[in-house]
Structure 1
Amino acid sequence: MALIPFVGGADTLSGSYLAGRQAAVHNDFEASARYYTAALARDPSNLNLMEDVIATQLGMGNVDRALPIAKLLEDQDVRSQSAHMTVIADLLANEAYGEYLERNVETLGVGPLVDGLLGAWAMIGDNRAEDGLAAFDKVGEERGLRGFAMYHKAMALGLLGDFAAAEDLFVEEAGPLQQTRRGAMARAEILSQLDRNEDAIASLEAAFGGSSDPELSGMLSALEAGDTLSFSHIKTARDGAAEVFYSVAGALRQDAGPEFTLIYARVARHLRRDHIDALLLVADLLDELDQYDLANAVYKEVPADDSAFHAAELGRVGVLRKSGDPDAAIEVLEQLAKRFGDLSIVHSTLGDVLRQQDQFEPAVAAYDRALDLTPEGVSGAWFLHYARAISLERLDEWPRAESDFRRALELNPGQPQVLNYLGYSLVEKQIKLDEALEMIEQAVAASPDSGFIVDSLGWVLYRLGRYEEAVQHMEKAVELMPIDPVVNDHLGDVYWSVGRTREAQFQWMRALSFVDPEDTDGEADPDRMRRKLEVGLDQVLEDEGAAPLKVVNDKG
């Protein structure tokens, strides 16, 4: 992202600071860290700049670069959560548990939950297992923190080899973390250690239903073969500390901004380099912050032999699409399809990208493969039928398309997108108009604030010759989507049909002003709009050989 040059340039204190601030506003961590660091070099005692440098370096995952400045802040008795987090991350990464436990969490801590959990793990790392387990209990006494505390205690018990006590906690304290993907897999490992593979299989099937992926399939295959799974989720107290930052990041994501959550995820990864879930979370947060190049680089850190490799590659596909490189996204997916040909999501994602690039024939083939790999009757398959139907409709294979649309509705009755697309298509083909109207009315009832769907209702009424009824719906569609060229063009046609010719011409001019000249594949037809402005809609319809507007008032 290009930065706007500042008066005085970025080689001055004010220029560096302002450039860093602007980069930070755009979540450009690399640039903001560079500029803030340059500003701090010119004003080394500026406490605010110190915090800015620490925050941006943590956002980049550079705990080691943030550490010297964090120590300076602590030496000056400055309370800074980011500084304290940096020093703590360094201590725990070096397994300096005794030194960490000597810190005063009241003045040098992160917060009650993090400090309490980290203290418990540090005690375990300092060979004080009994004290550590008691510390988890103490954290659990705080209101709203018991779920976190008991999850981490169960993990600690697994690390200590007390799998029976760990399983008891999973049964008795079925909190939200126990029900996460990591929690479910950790419990399966615990059950396997207790020689209860059948129970482990049942627990995984209950947690994941019919869904599967390479990691889950590998676990199930090993369990079914009678193998004993090792407890891999926490191997050291340092791993437990990493799990604290990861689980808190997951909770923060519900309420805090992604730039704040990112710091916790980065620290988790710093403490445990093989924490692939933390890596994927970091990449996902960078994607959310529109830092596509950084997200792509993080996704690429997942080793090709890791069970999460396909998930990372699918993440890369997402950021490549958003960054405007669909060809690269297609290439990644085609390689994935060769290696993970039995994963429906790979083929369905490939179909989506191809469809959005108007490559409808290969998109249909990709959806065919995805549906072949999807169990019959699975409700989630509705979107595959819907997406394939769109591709088939664009290929003028209407009977197959209609069949897919209707199958999507069988799997997901009342789905407004499907009702709208099928109804609109029937109207455009001038067939089954009564059914089409009923479908679109259902879609509007389900999604009354969708401009596209409300536009469809106005348009079907217009095509049915019910012009006066169409006006109010089309006007609402324009209110919902005021700068959409197609919707404004439709309103112009409706106004013309009821004799409001000047308002029609105004809407066509508005529609023209909203057409993106680079969008050559869009539905908007600027040449037709200009022709209507020149000669009116009646003449355009006659020139096109289309049916004329119905006469709704012939009394003069």
Structure 2
Amino acid sequence: MAKKVSGFSGNLRVAFLLIIAIFCYAQLFAQKTSEPPETMDDFFRDNFPLESTLKQIDADIARNPGSPGLWQTRATLLESHGKTDEALLALEKALALIPEPAASRQNQKGKVRIVTGPSHAGALFDIAKLYLAMNRRDEAKKTLRRAVQGDSPHMMACTYLGNIYLDEGNSAEALKYYSLMGHNLSTSGKISKGNALYNLKRYDEAIAEYKVAAHWKPELPSVLRHLGDAYLRVGRHADALDLYRRYVKFARQKKIPESEIAPVISRLEQLKKQPKTGSVKQD
């Protein structure tokens, strides 16, 4: 990032590099097998000092005040430095500059168009994330609902909204938003959708979601435990036994506290005493 980008002035170059960094981060977050790095704020703080970078971004905004991208860049910088109130104001400014999508006719094939790039829905999603960070949950939900309306629901907004409803115990409502995603859910999204189905006693469908997540992350303890629980519910005791054993192995490798592992060990011991049913097999 220290190299000069040909054709850009010093001020605009900083904003451009920041936008590229945001884009790469968003792409990584959207990938099925990857999760966002935990040190993203550290990355921005280390590479884009607040005062000097903000001065350069504001200079670009002064020259082009109608650019929503520059306001979004300003918001990202402020948020990474803990200035959430100021970041929210910048995002609201960006949102006001982005025209709302026109109502479109129903897709003849019944498909929805998923969007993640700079858009009205994307700006709404960014605002909702800030509301969540500020513990303004009701405002976040209202904003996320706006981001998933129409034929272009925002991908991550669907996931976030589903997670909120799942956390509130409303699995049916959560499932509605996970289902909007189709095959675009991340590993954690697949697990969450599986949990919603499990809570609704739709165990075979939950197993299908968990299995995809387990294929992407075969050593992830949480998905092994959830899949084992679902197998147990449908009477596939041998499969549950196999999953619980794998869970204990990888949970200990990942230093998960024994207090969290203990309930699974208890189930494991009970299964060992039962007649073997539902032998391990490929679905």
Do the structures match in fold with TM over 0.5?
yes
1:255-314 residue CA offsets vs partner (Å, 9 max, x unmatched): xxxxxxxxxxxxxxxxxxxxxxxxxxxxxxxxxxxxx33x3xx1498445xxxx42x222
Q: Which residue matches 2:120?
A: 381
Q: Please report how far the alpha carbon of residue 412 of structure 1 lies from its aligned counterpart in structure 2 after TM superposition.
A: 5.1
Say whether residues 1:506 and 2:224 are aligned partners.
no
Q: Which residue matches 2:18?
A: 317
Say whether residues 1:496 and 2:224 are aligned partners.
no
Say whether residues 1:399 and 2:138 are aligned partners.
yes
**Aligned with 2:184 (options 432, 447, 455):** 447
Structure 2, unaligned runs of 5 or more: 25-39, 103-117, 233-239, 268-283
1:428-449 residue CA offsets vs partner (Å, 9 max, x unmatched): 1113x32321221231x2527x
Q: Could you tell me which amino acid in structure 2 is paired with residue 315 of structure 1?
A: F
Return the index of the structure with the highest Cα Rg. 1
CA distance in 1, matches of 2:49, 2:101: 28
Q: Which residue matches 1:425?
A: 164
CA distance in 2, matches of 1:388, 1:439: 19
Runs ≥4 residues deviating over 6 A: 319-324, 356-359
- Structure having greater relative contact order (Cα 8 Å, sep ≥ 6): 2
Say whether residues 1:364 and 2:65 are aligned partners.
no
CA distance in 2, matches of 1:494, 1:482: 11
Q: Which residue matches 1:533?
A: 261
CA distance in 1, matches of 2:222, 2:80: 23
Q: Please report how far the alpha carbon of residue 354 of structure 1 lies from its aligned counterpart in structure 2 after TM superposition.
A: 5.2
CA distance in 1, matches of 2:49, 2:146: 27
1:219-255 residue CA offsets vs partner (Å, 9 max, x unmatched): xxxxxxxxxxxxxxxxxxxxxxxxxxxxxxxxxxxxx
Q: Which residue matches 1:438?
A: 176
CA distance in 1, matches of 2:152, 2:7: 42
Q: Could you tell me which amino acid in structure 2 is paired with residue 405 of structure 1?
A: L
Secondary structure of residue in 1 paired with 2:126: helix
CA distance in 1, matches of 2:124, 2:149: 10
Q: CA RMSD in A?
A: 3.7
CA distance in 1, matches of 2:83, 2:206: 34
Q: Which residue matches 2:44?
A: 326
Task: Kindly indicate whether the alpha-carbon contact (under 8 Å) linking 1:492 and 1:505 is maintained by their aligned counterparts in 2.
Answer: no
Task: Kindly indicate whether the alpha-carbon contact (under 8 Å) linking 2:213 and 2:223 is maintained by their aligned counterparts in 1.
Answer: no
Q: Please report how far the alpha carbon of residue 411 of structure 1 lies from its aligned counterpart in structure 2 after TM superposition.
A: 5.4
Shift in CA distance, 371/535, structure 1 to aligned 2, threshold 3 Å: same
Secondary structure of residue in 2 paired with 1:410: coil
Task: Kindly indicate whether the alpha-carbon contact (under 8 Å) linking 1:459 and 1:490 is maintained by their aligned counterparts in 2.
Answer: no
CA distance in 2, matches of 1:398, 1:502: 40
1:186-234 residue CA offsets vs partner (Å, 9 max, x unmatched): xxxxxxxxxxxxxxxxxxxxxxxxxxxxxxxxxxxxxxxxxxxxxxxxx
Q: Please report how far the alpha carbon of residue 406 of structure 1 lies from its aligned counterpart in structure 2 after TM superposition.
A: 1.3
Q: Please report how far the alpha carbon of residue 489 of structure 1 lies from its aligned counterpart in structure 2 after TM superposition.
A: 1.0
Shift in CA distance, 472/319, structure 1 to aligned 2, threshold 3 Å: closer
Task: Kindly indicate whether the alpha-carbon contact (under 8 Å) linking 2:224 and 2:246 is maintained by their aligned counterparts in 1.
Answer: no
Task: Kindly indicate whether the alpha-carbon contact (under 8 Å) linking 1:505 and 1:533 is maintained by their aligned counterparts in 2.
Answer: no
1:352-406 residue CA offsets vs partner (Å, 9 max, x unmatched): 4555677654443332232233344479211010121122223321211111111
In the TM superposition, what are the counterparts of 1:57-72 in structure 2 within 5 Å? none
Query: Taking structure 2 as the reference length, what is the TM-score of the superposition?
Result: 0.62
Q: Which residue matches 1:470?
A: 206
Larger helix share, 1 or 2: 1
Identity of aligned residues (%): 15
CA distance in 1, matches of 2:83, 2:263: 36
CA distance in 2, matches of 1:482, 1:313: 40
Q: Could you tell me which amino acid in structure 2 is paired with residue 490 of structure 1?
A: V
CA distance in 2, matches of 1:536, 1:358: 39
Q: Could you tell me which amino acid in structure 2 is paired with residue 451 of structure 1?
A: T
CA distance in 1, matches of 2:260, 2:153: 37
CA distance in 2, matches of 1:512, 1:350: 43
Structure 1, unaligned runs of 5 or more: 1-291, 516-525, 540-556
Shift in CA distance, 365/319, structure 1 to aligned 2, threshold 3 Å: same
Q: Which residue matches 2:71?
A: 347
Q: Please report how far the alpha carbon of residue 453 of structure 1 lies from its aligned counterpart in structure 2 after TM superposition.
A: 3.2
Query: Taking structure 1 as the reference length, what is the TM-score of the superposition?
Result: 0.34
Shift in CA distance, 365/508, structure 1 to aligned 2, threshold 3 Å: farther
CA distance in 2, matches of 1:371, 1:403: 15
**Matched residue pairs, number?**
222
Q: Please report how far the alpha carbon of residue 426 of structure 1 lies from its aligned counterpart in structure 2 after TM superposition.
A: 0.7
